[in-house]
Structure 1
Amino acid sequence: MNVSSGISRSRSGARPLRSRPLRRTFVAVVAALGLSAALATAAAPSASASAPTPPSGWTQVFLDDFNGPAGSGVNTSDWQYDRGTSYPGGAANWGTGEVESMTSSTNNVSLDGNGNLLITPRRDASGHWTSGRIETTRTDFQPPAGGKLRVQARIHMPNVTGTAAAGYWPAFWMLGAPFRGNYQNWPGVGELDVMENVNGIDKTWATMHCGTSPGGPCNETTGLGNSTACPGTTCQAGFHTYAMEWDRSVSPEAIHFSVDGVTYQTVTADQMDATTWANATDHGFFVILNVAMGGGFPSAFGGGPTGATEPGHPMAVDYVQVLESGGGGTTPPPSGGRDAYSTIQAESYDSQSGIRTETTSDTGGGQDIGYISNGDWALYKGVDFGSTPATQVYGRVASGAASGVSGLVQVRLDSPTSAPIGSFAVANTGGWQSWRTVPANISSVTGTHDVYLTFSSGQPADFVNVNWFDFGH
């Protein structure tokens, strides 16, 4: 796939608008591949499974298990629907030549009631195709500095093969955030195709797009890609886990693509010049799920859809999960080892949801936590308040939020859903690195507690960075 949309923040102050890249095709590679005449017989999707618990050292930053009533739509706090045949002002037919019109109808995008999302292409009596395409509202998925990001989904491709599958193009992919709202800057802003498949073939393709088109360091419109057969059952006969792991802890920086834990494609920063790599990776990404019909990629494998193509075969998605690991944050002290009355560095969290660390220009340097919006939180275990009650909290905060965007920093004890013991409001302070210390009264606290900072806002936009906090009597 090759075009996208979503909200993200740059590290230079202004946070970029939502954008989406186009789905290009792996034409040069696929033209060289030999196809098997006998395609595997498809089976019905199996029951859903729960997303795996993050391994030690990893933190879950996003999860949708697609649990909900049968026939309902997706959670629009997490996902937005793409509609029609292009982005506003973007390339026609999503930039790939596909023939369907995308809708938000539950005929095309719905939950099955068993923990799966179904994206189902349909054809009406006049031969017109409709299907579904959704993307995360978040556009800030990227590894922390010196750390890793893993984006994975358990997917059952459309259970259709042979001539009945002509034109099917399911995909699980990511676009660089600066594309959202621009729609003209592909492929420079980067695209990571975690899984693509065409025409019911038992293969998954993984590709990175970057640079300029045509040609350039990523050989556009082909991209830097590879393919492999699905392990065990065919791609169409069962669920498989497709993953992208982006590793900033090594040099050169590397992006690995895998299916069921088997890595079959790796792209490294030394495969292109430093500027191209930075333009393609030095920002957040958003995730896209869709089933296209027709276009350049299916054309490379015989074309379609045709009169023999069978509508109504869904791509089933059990879950989408995003994990991160490592980074430049300080190692949190052992339980009970934090002094409430000494500075607690915000990046020393034990776990978090929705935030990232970044370099700060505040006095003393180091890092802050940022990219914070409504519903995000950070946990600091074992904060010792002693026997004399703490009655105040002090937070070192900055904000470059737009006019009218503000929110609350709330302090909670032992649970992210317990009643706040205190809070303070933050609006624009003059910039994302324009720091001030804000005091607030809190209910009296003694003893040792796990402290949660939770963040609440009436708008979806990021509204605060936090460098440190502490408590006083």
Structure 2
Amino acid sequence: MSETSGTSHRRRRPLRRALFAVLGTLGLAGLAATAAVPSATAAAPPPPSGWTQVFVDDFNGAAGTGVNTSNWRYATGTGYPGGPANWGTGEIETMTSSTNNVALDGNGNLRITPRRDASGNWTSGRIETNRTDFQPPSGGKLRMEARIQMPNVTGTAARGYWPAFWALGSPYRGNYWNWPSVGELDIMENVQGLNTVWATMHCGTSPGGPCNETSGIGGSRACPGATCQAGFHTYGMEWDRSTSPEEVRFYVDGINYHTVRANQVDATTWANATNHGYFIILNVAMGGGFVDAFGGGPDGNTVPGYSMVVDYVQVLTAGGGGTTPPPTGNRDAYSAIQAESHDGQSGTITETTTDSGGGQNIGAIANGDWALYRGVNFGSTGATQFVGRVASGAASGVSGLVEVRLDSRTSAPVGSFAVGNTGGWQSWRTVPANISRVTGTHDVYLTFTSGQPADFVNVNWFNFGH
């Protein structure tokens, strides 16, 4: 479900994507294969030995209820606020949070169902994980996996259907114009009710570039056993940092049918696409560039109301000594760390700044938001000061704390400073604060605390001093 680049034209995936070899290279996944069976429900399997489950949703709940919003957020409308129209793909539906489009079925499944009203307008559903930090530990592996039955419709009645299970690089959230450089991993895509699963990695620049955009680096095959539409299949992606070169492998029912390796692109392109976490997306689009490459739609023959049925989604990690990469010392505490270069965040956006030097800042920051910067090297002498470049257009009486925490968002702050209105959201000040002495290499969290829910600060950059 690729997003668009910064251009305004609609993306078109070339027809040649249909020509990928269906058989691919067969092999066994690192996890046990799950047979394709038509049963409606199955719990997420327990992690195999050596793997740790870091996220799961079995979609258990009463029929007709929405998703668990502690795990998921609804993406609604026809695009992200300020982002490309039609979700950047040319699809025509309006996404909603209505249980007509996104609902549990009472049997342990999520159903995302496209609908068409009497005027011919389409609605459907798109949900995303709140978490944006899914990535392998350093030297380890990450697996995203879901057991899904594609909409059980084929032929002309399926024209325009585009179900997908995929992930976007965390810097996309709040920016919406940095695709494809931040990376996209399409774990399962299907169009037109064809018995084919596509997997793709998007990266680099568009159009063209090292990742052949807008097509990306893709592969495909038929679903083994029952067709993709007639039965459930387990679709998975393993991102493996234990290999050299690093690689991303795609699976259906345990069969590895497509692999992308770091040495297929230049080092900068790979780093830009992988040096951060990802968030997961489930959706069913109607129409768009990929659909157009296979004949187009929807049209008068298309039959609405067929659901993508999702039994479970889970994320696992293995190896590397933990579920998150340990600090690598790749950031200098005493040089400016650009706020938008975070390795993970919650609640912030990225926007263009008018501050000296230009570039971007993070903004829309309110109580409970945070940003993560991995591997900040403080050296042996130690830092005793923290300096932040901040701006605020908060209303009178609205203020909050910019806090520094080490290695965990729940650690006690080593220091903080208060900030209120500076004269505008692009009226910048450099604010110093004393901190407890810090040595060595740490993951640094900037956390933001306020007594009210309103946005209270933007951050352009920060550093530390002796």
TM-score by length of 1: 0.67
SS state at 1:164 partner: helix
Answer whether contact 1:400 1:429 (CA < 8 A) is retained: no
Partner in structure 1 of residue 190 of structure 2 = 197
Choose the corresponding residue for 2:286, options 285, 293, 296.
293
Answer whether contact 1:138 1:286 (CA < 8 A) is retained: yes
The 1:280–1:120 alpha-carbon spacing in structure 2 relative to 1, beyond 3 Å, is same
Separation (CA, whole Å) in 1 of partners of 2:293 and 2:39: 30
Partner in structure 2 of residue 3 of structure 1 = 3
Separation (CA, whole Å) in 1 of partners of 2:206 and 2:303: 34
Partner in structure 1 of residue 14 of structure 2 = 27
Q: Does 1:358 align with 2:351?
A: no
Separation (CA, whole Å) in 2 of partners of 1:400 and 1:150: 38
Separation (CA, whole Å) in 1 of partners of 2:283 and 2:10: 11
Answer whether contact 1:136 1:286 (CA < 8 A) is retained: yes
User: Number of residues paired by the alignment?
Assistant: 356
SS state at 2:301 partner: coil
Q: Does 1:319 align with 2:312?
A: yes
Q: Does 1:252 align with 2:222?
A: no
The 1:324–1:424 alpha-carbon spacing in structure 2 relative to 1, beyond 3 Å, is closer
Partner in structure 1 of residue 165 of structure 2 = 172
Partner in structure 1 of residue 266 of structure 2 = 273
Answer whether contact 1:407 1:457 (CA < 8 A) is retained: no
Answer whether contact 1:257 1:263 (CA < 8 A) is retained: yes
Q: Does 1:241 align with 2:234?
A: yes
SS state at 2:326 partner: strand
Partner in structure 2 of residue 38 of structure 1 = none
Separation (CA, whole Å) in 2 of partners of 1:408 and 1:274: 31
Within a 5 Å distance, the mapping from 1:18-417 to structure 2 comes to 26-30=13-17, 32=19, 46-327=39-320, 329=321, 356-359=325-328, 403-404=400-401
Separation (CA, whole Å) in 2 of partners of 1:371 and 1:103: 27
Answer whether contact 2:149 2:310 (CA < 8 A) is retained: yes
SS state at 1:2 partner: coil
Partner in structure 1 of residue 360 of structure 2 = none
**CA-CA distance at 1:424 after TM superposition:** 7.5
Partner in structure 1 of residue 459 of structure 2 = none
Q: Which amino acid aligns with 1:155?
A: I
Separation (CA, whole Å) in 1 of partners of 2:257 and 2:264: 17
Partner in structure 1 of residue 456 of structure 2 = none
Q: Which amino acid aligns with 2:284?
A: V
Question: How big is the alpha-carbon RMSD for the aligned residues of Structure 1 and Structure 2?
Answer: 3.8
List gaps (5 residues or longer) in structure 1.
5-21, 36-42, 330-348, 363-369, 375-397, 410-422, 439-455, 461-473
Answer whether contact 1:187 1:212 (CA < 8 A) is retained: yes
TM-score by length of 2: 0.68
Separation (CA, whole Å) in 1 of partners of 2:449 and 2:311: 30
Q: Which moved more, 1:184-193 or 1:23-32?
A: 23-32
List gaps (5 residues or longer) in structure 2.
23-35, 332-342, 347-367, 369-384, 391-399, 418-433, 439-446, 454-466
* Identical-residue share of aligned pairs (%): 66
Q: Which amino acid aligns with 1:58?
A: W
Answer whether contact 1:3 1:23 (CA < 8 A) is retained: no
**CA-CA distance at 1:27 after TM superposition:** 2.2
